[in-house]
C-alpha cells in the first residue's frame, strides 16, 4: 500500500515553499502562495536531498587513520573508511583533546558560514562556535566574503557598522519609488541575487519595484559590464570591470569644475573635502581626473560622463553600489568614492537621494519592515581572541606565524593544527582553489560536518554526516522579513545523518564539557527556550506571538511588521543638525578625508578615495597574455553551491555556461554550446560557451556554484571560476576577497 502524500510549508534562505513527502522521501515542492515572485531553487530539492552523493555514515580518510604524518598530501585523493558512530565520536573527541593538550586552543580554526540553514537553532555556525567556546576557544574569522572590504571602510567614512547601514540606514523601496528621479546603479541591481537573504525572504519584491519605477518614469542607469545586472528599461553604460572609481572621479570632476557641488552640505556635514579636491583637480599628483582621463580607463565616453553628472546634480539622485564592486583589488575605493560623490551632490539625508549599498544583493535590503532581533542559539564567549579576516584562510594555513596588516593593526597568523568546519563549502567560495588545496594539506586534522560529498568533504580527514533542514525541527525567522515559520521535520534523517547539536552533545559528553554545552537541554527543549525568550522580547515591542505548540499547528504566521511607516529617511536627523546628531566618526561628520586611515600609511589606501590601477585588469600588461576579464557573479539557479549535485545531473553533468560577447567569440572561433577551456596562470576549467551581446567586449562571465571536480591534468570539469580567481586581499584595510580581479583566456575544446 502506497504511503500517504503529505505536505507542509517550510522556509529557507531563498524563501518559503511547500514540500510534499511520501513516507521518508521528499517527492516535490510548490511555491508559497503569498510570494509574488517565488524562487525556482526548490525545484531541485527532492533530487538533492536523496542524491547519491549524500554522506551515509561517519567516514575517515584511510591515510589519516594510518597515523605517522597522516599522509596529508593525499587529502582530496585518498579513500575513506566508514566507522560506527560511537567509534567515530570516540576518535574525534580524543583528537580534539590531543590537539588542545599539545598545542592549545589557539591552534584550532573554527570554519563556518551562515548559509547552511535558515533555521535559528540548527544554525551550523552557532552550533560549532558554541561547542568550541566551551572547549576552550578557537581562532575565529571576521567579516564575510560578500562584504569584507565594505565592512572595513564604511565605519571610517560613516561611523556605522556596514551590516547596520545596509539594513537600517538606506532608502526603502517605497521611498525610492516616490522620490528618486535618477537611479545610478554602479554594478547594477540584479533581482536574481535578491531571491536569497540571510534567514529567508518571503516576499520576493525587487522585480515588482522596478516595474513601479518604470511606471513612475524614473531614469535608471546600469553601470556594469553586463546589461542583465539590472531589470529591463535601464540605460546601459558598459564599464570596464574594476574601473568604477575612475568613472566616479570623472563625474566628480564635472561637478566641481561646473559649479554643481553642494558646498553648504560639504561644509556642514563632511570633513576633508579640500584634501580630496586637491587630488581631484590634480594639484596633489599632477593628474586632473577629467572625464577624458576617466574615459581612457573605464571606457565610458567623456561627454556621456558630463551629461550624466549634470543630470545627477539637477534631479533627486540615488547612487547605489553593488557588493560585487568591493570584491576586487582596492575594493574599498569605489565604496568610499561613491560616498564622496553623493556628498558632493548634497542629497544624503533627503528622501530618495544620497547613497545606498547592496540593493539587489540580498532580499532584505530596501524592504520596509520593522526589525525584530533575537531567536538565536547562544554561542557564548570565545576565550581565544585571535582571528583572521575571513578570506585569508589559505594565507594563515600556508604561513603560520607570518605577519600581516589589517585595518591599521599589525597581526600574526596562528599556527593551525586542526580545522573544524560546519555549514559551508570553501572549495566553492574561496579564491585560487589550487592554492587552497595546498593550504588544506598543512593542518594535522580537518574535520567536517556535511550532508554531501562536496569538494570540501573530499579534502577532509573526518566527515560526519549531517542532516539537512528537512530532517529536523526548527524555527525560521529573518530580521528583514515579516514571517515566522515553524520548520517541521519532514522526513527521517537520510542514512545515518545526525544534526550538529546531537553530534556536539555526544562529543562534549566524551570530553567532560557536556553540561556547559547543552545546559541540560535537548534540541527540542532548546527550541522551546529560544522561542519563549523571543516571544517575551516581541511582547515588549507590542507584537503578540502564539505559543510554540500553536505555531506548530499553524505552520507559519505573518507578523504586523511590514509598513511604509517603517521606511525612515536615512541620515535625515544628521542632515538637519549635524551638531545635535553627529555620526560616530572621529569628526562626527562624513569623512571624505580620514585622518585615521591616512595614519595607517598604506600606499594602496590613502586618506581619501582614489583610483589605483589593479595588478590585473584590461589595462594591465597581463592582458596581452590573458585578454578577457572574468567576472564571477552569483548563480541564478541555486544559493552558492547548494544542491549543485542535482542540478549537475539535470544538465547532464556538463560544465556551467560562460557568457562571452559575439566579437570575442568570433575572434576565437567559438560558437554557442561549444565546450571550451578557460585558463590563466593559476588554473583552468571547462565551460560551455554562451554567446551574447549582453556583455561588454573583453569580458566573460562564469557564475560561481559548481562543485570542484578536477581531472588528471588538474582542470576543473564543472566550470568553477574560483580555480581561476586571485587569492589576494582587497587591500590592507579590508583584506577581503578579490575574485573580480581576474584575467583569463578562452579556447575551444574538441568534443
Cell of 515: 553540561
Confidence of residue 3 (pLDDT cuts 50, 70, 90): low
Tell me the per-residue pLDDT of 590-632, one tens digit each, with 9 for 90 and over: 999 999 999 999 999 999 999 999 999 999 999 999 999 999 9
Residue 15 has pLDDT above 90, yes or no: yes
According to DSSP, residue 565 is labeled: G
Among the residue ranges 1-10, 568-577, 639-648, the one predicted with the least confidence is: 1-10
In sequence order, which residues have a C-beta less than 8 Å from that of residue 203 and are 6 or more positions away?
Answer: 34, 35, 36, 367, 481, 482, 562
Q: How far is CA 353 from CA 111, 172, 303, 340, 491, in A?
A: 39, 11, 24, 14, 49
Of 259, 267, 249, 266, which is closest to residue 344 (Cα–Cα)?
266
Give dist(CA 234, CA 724) in Å, integer.
31
d(CA 278, CA 561): 47
What b/e readout covers 347-366, taking b as 16+ CB neighbours within 10 angstroms?
A: bbbbbbbbbbbbbbbbbbbb
**SS in 3 state form for 135-168?**
CCCCEEEECCCCCHHHHHHHHHHHCCCHHHHHHH
C-alpha 639/C-alpha 703 separation (Å) is 11
Cβ distance 710 to 641 under 8 Å?
no
DSSP assignment letter at 441: T
Among 14, 113, 470, 531, the one annotated catalytic: 113
CA 61 to CA 458: how far, in whole Å? 9
Q: Hey, what's the torsion of the CAs at 167, 170, 172, 175, to 10 degrees?
A: 170
Three-state DSSP at 395 gives helix
Contact 507, 348 (CB under 8 A): no
How many whole angstroms separate alpha carbon 328 and alpha carbon 411?
22
> What pLDDT was estimated at residue 479?
86
Kindly tell me if the per-residue pLDDT of 234 is higher than 60.
yes
> Backbone phi, then psi, for 136, in 5-degree steps?
120, -5
What cell numbers appear for 639 in the block?
Answer: 544559493
Cα distance between residue 581 and residue 261, in whole Å: 23
Give me the sheet containing 418-422, strands edge to edge: 80-82, 59-61, 462-465, 445-450, 418-422, 108-112
What is the DSSP-derived secondary structure letter of residue 579? Answer: T
Dump strand ranges (E) for 187-333.
219-223, 235-237, 270-271, 317-321
Please state the rounded mean pLDDT for residues 647-664.
89
Pairing of strands 140-142, 699-701: unpaired
pLDDT band at 653 (very low <50, low <70, confident <90, very high): low
pLDDT averaged over the chain? 96
Query: What is the spatial distance between Cα 355 and Cα 185, in angstroms, rounded to a whole number?
Result: 10
Between CA 259 and CA 261 the distance in angstroms is 6
Q: Give the separation between CA 352 and CA 356, rounded to whole angstroms.
A: 10
What residue ranges of the chain are covered by domains with CATH 3.40.228.10? 148-370+567-599
The crossing angle, in degrees rounded to 10, of helices 124-134 and 500-511 is: 10
Instruction: State the pLDDT at residue 661.
Output: 98
pLDDT digits (tens, 9 = 90+) for 183-225: 999 999 999 999 999 999 999 999 999 999 999 999 999 999 9
Asked whether residue 1 carries a pLDDT value surpassing 60, the answer given is no
Q: Which CATH number fits domain 621-748: 3.40.50.300, 1.10.1740.10, 3.30.750.24, 2.40.40.20?
A: 2.40.40.20
589: left (phi over 0), alpha (psi -120 to 50) or beta: beta
CA dist 29 and 27 (Å) reads 7
Closest CA to 241 of 226, 222, 221, 220: 226
Which tens digit of pLDDT belongs to each residue from 338-394? 999 999 999 999 999 999 999 999 999 999 998 888 899 999 999 999 999 999 999
User: What would the pLDDT profile of 35-46 be if each residue is shown by its tens digit?
Assistant: 999 999 999 999
Secondary structure tally for the chain: helices H, strands E = 26, 29
Dmax over Cα atoms in the chain, in whole Å?
84
Of 60-74, 305-319, 440-454, least confident by mean pLDDT is 60-74
Average pLDDT of span 678-706: 98
Average pLDDT over residues 460-478: 97
Instruction: For domain 148-370+567-599, give the fold.
Output: Dimethylsulfoxide Reductase; domain 2 (3.40.228)
Length of the chain: 751
Contact 474, 457 (CB under 8 A): no
Mean pLDDT of 719-738: 98
**List of residues 6+ apart from 697 with CB closer than 8 A:** 661, 663, 664
Q: Residue 227 has what DSSP assignment?
A: G
CB atoms within 10 A of CB 613: 15
pLDDT at residue 68 is higher than 90: no
Active site residue 113: yes
Q: Which residue in the list 115, 138, 323, 611 is annotated as catalytic?
A: 115
Residue 2 has pLDDT above 60, yes or no: no
Query: What does the alpha-carbon distance between residue 750 and residue 3 come to, in Å, rounded to a whole number?
Result: 49
List the beta strands (DSSP E) in 643-738.
657-660, 675-680, 683-691, 699-701
Q: Is the dihedral of CA 503, 507, 509, 514 positive or negative?
A: negative
pLDDT at 415 over 60: yes
- Positions of CATH 2.40.40.20 in the chain: 621-748
Q: 148 or 713: which carries more pLDDT confidence?
A: 148
- In contact, 180 and 171? CB cutoff 8 Å: yes
CA distance 377 to 131: 11
Residues 6+ apart with CB under 8 A from 398: 435, 438, 439, 442
Amino acid at each position: 500500500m502506497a504511503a500517504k502524500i503529505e505536505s507542509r510549508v517550510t522556509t529557507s534562505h531563498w524563501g518559503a515553499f511547500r514540500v510534499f513527502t511520501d513516507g521518508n522521501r521528499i517527492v516535490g515542492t510548490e511555491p508559497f502562495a503569498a510570494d509574488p515572485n517565488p524562487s525556482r531553487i526548490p525545484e531541485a530539492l527532492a533530487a538533492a536531498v536523496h542524491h547519491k552523493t549524500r554522506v551515509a555514515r561517519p567516514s575517515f580518510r584511510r591515510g589519516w587513520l594510518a597515523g605517522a604524518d597522516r599522509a596529508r598530501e593525499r587529502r582530496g585523493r585518498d579513500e575513506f573508511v566508514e566507522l560506527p558512530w560511537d567509534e567515530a565520536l570516540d576518535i574525534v573527541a580524543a583528537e580534539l583533546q590531543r590537539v588542545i593538550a599539545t598545542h592549545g586552543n589557539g591552534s584550532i580554526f573554527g570554519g563556518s558560514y551562515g548559509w547552511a540553514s535558515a533555521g535559528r537553532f540548527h544554525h551550523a555556525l552557532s552550533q560549532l562556535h558554541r561547542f568550541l567556546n566551551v572547549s576552550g576557544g578557537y581562532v575565529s574569522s571576521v567579516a564575510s566574503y560578500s562584504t569584507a572590504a565594505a565592512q572595513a571602510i564604511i565605519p571610517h567614512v560613516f561611523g556605522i557598522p556596514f551590516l547596520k547601514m545596509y539594513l537600517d540606514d538606506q532608502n526603502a523601496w517605497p521611498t525610492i519609488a516616490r522620490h528618486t528621479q535618477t537611479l545610478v546603479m554602479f554594478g547594477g541591481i540584479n533581482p536574481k541575487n535578491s531571491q536569497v537573504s540571510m534567514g529567508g525572504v518571503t516576499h520576493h519584491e525587487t522585480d515588482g519595484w522596478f516595474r513601479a519605477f518604470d511606471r513612475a518614469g524614473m531614469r535608471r542607469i546600469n553601470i556594469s559590464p553586463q546589461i542583465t545586472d539590472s531589470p529591463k528599461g535601464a540605460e546601459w553604460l558598459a564599464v570596464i570591470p574594476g574601473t568604477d572609481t575612475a568613472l566616479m572621479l570623472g563625474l566628480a570632476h564635472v561637478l566641481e569644475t561646473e559649479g554643481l557641488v553642494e558646498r553648504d552640505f560639504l561644509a556642514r556635514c563632511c570633513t576633508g573635502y579640500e584634501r580630496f579636491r586637491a587630488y581631484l583637480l590634480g594639484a596633489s599628483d599632477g593628474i586632473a581626473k577629467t572625464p577624458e582621463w576617466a574615459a581612457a580607463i573605464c571606457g565610458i565616453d567623456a561627454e556621456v560622463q558630463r551629461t550624466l553628472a549634470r543630470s545627477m546634480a539637477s534631479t533627486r539622485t540615488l547612487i547605489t553600489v553593488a557588493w560585487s564592486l568591493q570584491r576586487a583589488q582596492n575594493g574599498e575605493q569605489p565604496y568610499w568614492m561613491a560616498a564622496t560623490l553623493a556628498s558632493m551632490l548634497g542629497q544624503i539625508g533627503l528622501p530618495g537621494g544620497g547613497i545606498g549599498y547592496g540593493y539587489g544583493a540580498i532580499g532584505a535590503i530596501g524592504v520596509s519592515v520593522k526589525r525584530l532581533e533575537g531567536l538565536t542559539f547562544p554561542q557564548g564567549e570565545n576565550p581565544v581572541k585571535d582571528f583572521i579576516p575571513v578570506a585569508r584562510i589559505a594565507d594563515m594555513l600556508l604561513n603560520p606565524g607570518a605577519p600581516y596588516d589589517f585595518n591599521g593593526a599589525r597581526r600574526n597568523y596562528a599556527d593551525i593544527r586542526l580545522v573544524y568546519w560546519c555549514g559551508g563549502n570553501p572549495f566553492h567560495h574561496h579564491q585560487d582553489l589550487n592554492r587552497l588545496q595546498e593550504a588544506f594539506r598543512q593542518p594535522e586534522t580537518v574535520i567536517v560536518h556535511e550532508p554531501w560529498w562536496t569538494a570540501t568533504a573530499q579534502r577532509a580527514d573526518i566527515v560526519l554526516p549531517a542532516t539537512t533542514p528537512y530532517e529536523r525541527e526548527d524555527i525560521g525567522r529573518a530580521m528583514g522579513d515579516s514571517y515566522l515559520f515553524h520548520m517541521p521535520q519532514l522526513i527521517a534523517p537520510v542514512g545515518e545523518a545526525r544534526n550538529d547539536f546531537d553530534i556536539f552533545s555526544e562529543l562534549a559528553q566524551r570530553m567532560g564539557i557536556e553540561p556547559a554545552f547543552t545546559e541540560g537541554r535537548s534540541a527540542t527543549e532548546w527550541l522551546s527556550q529560544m522561542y519563549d525568550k523571543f516571544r517575551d522580547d516581541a511582547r515588549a515591542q507590542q507584537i503578540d506571538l502564539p505559543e510554540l505548540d500553536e505555531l506548530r499547528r499553524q505552520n507559519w504566521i505573518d507578523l504586523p511588521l511590514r509598513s511604509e511607516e517603517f521606511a525612515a529617511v536615512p541620515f535625515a536627523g544628521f542632515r538637519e543638525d549635524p551638531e545635535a546628531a553627529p555620526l560616530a566618526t572621529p569628526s562626527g561628520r562624513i569623512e571624505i578625508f580620514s585622518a585615521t586611515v591616512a595614519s595607517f600609511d598604506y600606499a594602496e589606501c590613502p586618506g581619501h578615495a582614489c583610483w589605483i590601477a589593479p595588478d590585473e585588469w584590461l589595462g594591465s600588461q597581463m592582458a596581452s597574455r590573458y585578454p578577457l576579464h572574468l567576472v564571477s557573479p552569483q548563480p541564478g539557479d541555486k544559493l552558492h553551491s547548494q544542491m549543485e549535485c542535482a542540478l549537475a545531473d539535470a544538465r547532464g553533468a556538463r560544465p556551467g555556461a560562460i557568457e562571452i560577447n559575439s566579437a570575442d567569440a568570433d575572434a576565437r572561433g567559438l560558437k554557442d554550446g561549444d565546450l571550451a577551456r578557460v585558463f590563466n596562470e593559476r588554473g583552468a576549467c571547462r565551460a560551455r560557451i554562451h554567446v551574447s551581446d549582453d556583455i561588454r567586449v573583453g569580458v566573460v562571465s562564469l557564475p560561481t556554484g559548481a562543485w570542484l571536480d578536477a581531472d588528471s591534468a588538474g582542470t576543473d570539469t564543472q566550470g568553477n571560476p574560483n580555480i581561476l580567481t586571485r587569492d589576494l586581499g582587497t587591500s590592507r584595510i579590508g583584506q577581503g576577497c578579490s575574485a573580480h580581479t581576474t584575467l583569463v583566456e578562452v579556447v575551444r575544446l574538441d568534443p
